[in-house]
Amino acid sequence: MALSSPQRIALIVSFFGLLAFVLGVIAENKKPPYGTPIQGKDAIVCKFPNDPTIAMGSLSLVALVLAAIVGHVAIFHPYSGQSVPRGALFQSTSLSVFFVVAELVSALAFAMLIWATVTESLHRTNNIHHDMDYQCPTAKTGLFGGAAFLALDASLFWLVCQMLALNARADYLDEDDNKGEYGQVLAAEVDGLKV
């Protein structure tokens, strides 16, 4: 059974959203709580263990951006070669609201992932300190994990936007609903009796 274009796009959004979530959680779990301060002559040198935190945070960031890009494609893509004007799509209040929420959650997840990844890499590159009481901290605990959950939420909001966009497209193009007419009763079995 071949997947339709909306199903493929939904799977891609889901994949990248889930990937951003998993990589963000791995970055959070692998991040050391602090580095080891090594006393020098008149400086402290921070030594951090080798861990994949920065790489996982960067890859999570890339996956989030790809999920957001494909989320936009899911809304504006001309399925079956039939495009719908943006004004017609956004006449749907629920699509407009979910689109704004998806944009905001994506931006917040992006900002948190950038913040955590850049902070962690700055701690590792600027590892010589002249304050003799420096404790060699790492990025704030919970930033990668929180950003990971926001990335997952963002991909779910993009999926809801896709469903609402498909409904708005069907209304604009006056496509037939293959589920029957409203008010039409279909035969079903209830407690062994055919109704």
pLDDT band at 185; cut points 50, 70, 90: low
**pLDDT tens for each residue of 92-101:** 899 999 999 9
For residue 139, the SS3 value is coil
Q: Are 156 and 71 in contact (CB under 8 A)?
A: no
Residue 108 resides in a domain: yes
**Does the CA dihedral 165-168-173-175 come out positive or negative?**
positive
Residue 132 resides in a domain: no
Residue 130 resides in a domain: no
pLDDT band at 140; cut points 50, 70, 90: confident
Find the domain containing 89 and state its range.
Answer: 5-34+50-125+137-176
Residue 80 resides in a domain: yes
Residue 76 resides in a domain: yes
Q: How many structural domains compose the chain? A: 1
Residue 172 resides in a domain: yes
